[in-house]
Amino acid sequence: MSAGPGLESLVYQTISVITNDGRNIVGVLKGFDQATNIILDESHERVYSTKEGVQQLVLGLYIIRGDNMYVHIPLLYQQALVQVVHA
C-alpha cells in the first residue's frame, strides 16, 4: 500500500469518509491502493434527519473509489471536533 498522504497510519483505525455526494460512511480502514480506493470493514452509513435524528445503515465490508471521496478523517478527531463545537 503506497498512496494517499498519511493513509498508512490510519490502517486498522476507524475513520469517517464524506463522499462527493455528501454521504457519511464510517468503518475500519482495511486497505487502500495507489488510486486511494479504500476498503472499509464493519462499516455503516450515518443518515441525518431533522425528524428522526441520526440513523445508521449497516454496510459491512465496503469499497469506496478514491475519486468519490471528499474527505476522510479518523473518527477520534471527528468526535473531538463535535465536542468542541457543542461546548
pLDDT tens for each residue of 42-52: 999 999 889 98
Q: What local confidence, expressed as pLDDT, does residue 70 receive?
A: 81
Distant-in-sequence, close-in-space partners of 50: CB < 8 Å, separation ≥ 6: none
- Copy the grid coordinates of residue 25: 460512511
Top-ranked range on mean pLDDT: pick from 11-15, 39-43, 48-52, 73-77: 39-43
Query: pTM of this prediction?
Result: 0.76
Question: What percent of the chain has a predicted confidence (pLDDT) above 70?
Answer: 79
Residue ranges per structural domain of the chain: 7-86
Q: How confident is the model at residue 5 (pLDDT cuts 50, 70, 90)?
A: low
Q: What is the CATH number of domain 7-86?
A: 2.30.30.100
